Amino acid sequence: MPRLQVNLLKPLFKLCTFLAIMPPYNDKNHTFFQNKFYKIYRIIILIYWILGSIGGLVEEYLFLFETLPGTMQTMNLIAYLSFTLQIIVLTISMNIISFEEFKIFYNDLVKVEMKLIYFNNSKGNNTKTSLRIWIELILTHLTFMPIVVLDYYLWIKVSKNEKFHFYIIHQNLQKYHTNVSVLLMCNLMLYMKKLFISANKSLEFSIKNRNRTKIFTVITYGPKDLIKIFLILNKTIEYFNRIFGWTILCINFSILANILLSLNFMIQFNNEKAKLLTSTYGFEFIVLMTSWAAASLIIGIFLTSVANSTVKEAKNTANVCYKLLTTISVQTSQKLDEKELRNDLLLLAEQIAMRSSHFTAAGFFNVDYTMLFTMLSTVTSYLVVLIQFS
């Protein structure tokens, strides 16, 4: 049995299972399952996130709200609540509400990859581990952990309240959860992108060599089967939006709030109310807030760029179809088989062109470069107003 590309995501799947983001994965059956142990574990994790967030919010109010200006209090509250909401929404969606849809989504991707493997008469991916996934995880931890250490060190120096220290740890765990969630979504989108690329190449090869395929290779699936594959792949985008749409919306709010909070801190540096934070560790806090803003921006860029490139490859199918239509001359298209093939290509091109294949944040906006531009314009507008009032 060929080794599927998606199996190389196992290190990320295991990390997501540990964080209760997704159920355990069985790579032999290519499916997800929920046993009693995992259900109990998931409930414990959810209770921790909910009670920890409530306790952290109380400590934030008792300490932070007395040492920060009003605008920073608001941004900090929005960021904290959006992180909490993202965790709860994703955990409930992946494990309960959209679990069956997630299984269908994943099974469709595996089914498509299997068909493309057999179509191309290949053995699949024989790599034992995914080097790219390990590099992603290592780089994520190498960039995230130093910021967390600096964050915890500075707040410990500023506050001697041990309960407030728990709030800092809890908030950083929330941010870590968001980073892993973005990694999961981006890698699933990259997997979809690879399938679109493979399907486009297979369609092109099938049409150009439709009269000579028996000489080169034994092909199980013909052009009509490939057209069905494209319809399945486009359907997976809709499943992805239903599963992760609200999570992406929460992540967008948390990224935006985190950037605004960091920039607001630097603007309010000389505010009398913030003197407790800036009098002794002013430069260190500037470095910390700049690091958090940069990390949040990188997450946003990574998410939007992967989503944009995947959608671009999905829409490229229409260009491939129109390009292939030029290889079928008018004379040969009079034959029944050629005429039917020409009609199928036209129908697929029209469906791809008319279908709005986009990753969305619960339908509120598309996840592409326009989202990043909107985010940056919002930050700019907010800073202009804030500078005028400071």
Per the structure block, which two tokens stand in for 309? 């490139």
pLDDT tier at 302 (50, 70, 90 boundaries)? very high
Position 220 pLDDT exceeds 70: no
pLDDT reading at 327 higher than 80: no
Is 128's pLDDT higher than 60? no
Tens-digit pLDDT profile for residues 158-183: 777 777 788 888 889 999 999 999 99
The residue-averaged pLDDT of 195-216 equals: 72
CB atoms within 10 A of CB 135: 10
Residue 271 reports pLDDT greater than 80: no
What's the mean pLDDT when you consider all of the chain? 82
Q: Does the pLDDT value for residue 389 go beyond 80?
A: no
Q: What is the pLDDT, as a whole number, of residue 276?
A: 52
Task: Examine the pLDDT at 195 and tell me if it is beyond 70.
Answer: yes
pLDDT confidence of residue 359: 92
Torsions phi, psi for 32 (to 5 deg): -105, 150
In terms of pLDDT, which residue wins out, 201 or 215? Answer: 201
pTM of model > 0.75 = yes
Instruction: Look up the domain containing 73 and give its range.
Output: 5-389
Q: Which residues contact 350 (CB under 8 A, 6 or more apart)?
A: none
Q: What interhelical angle do 131-158 and 10-18 show, nearest 10?
A: 30
Q: Check residue 214 and give its pLDDT.
A: 42
Residue 332 pLDDT > 60: no
Query: Model confidence over 65-93: pLDDT tens digits?
Result: 666 666 777 777 888 888 899 999 999 99
pLDDT classification of 330: cutoffs 50, 70, 90: low
Distance in angstroms (rounded) separating the CA atoms of residues 363 and 241: 8
Domain count, the chain: 1
Asked whether the predicted pLDDT for residue 244 surpasses 50, the reply is yes
HEC-encoded secondary structure of 319-334 = HHHHHHHCCCCCCHHH
The predicted structure's pLDDT at residue 125 = 55
What backbone phi and psi angles, to 5 degrees, belong to 360? -125, 160
- In this prediction, residue 102 has a pLDDT band, given cuts at 50, 70 and 90, of very high
Confidence of residue 277 (pLDDT cuts 50, 70, 90): low
Average pLDDT value for residue range 132-138: 87
Q: What separation, in Å, do the N-terminal and C-terminal C-alpha atoms of the chain show?
A: 65
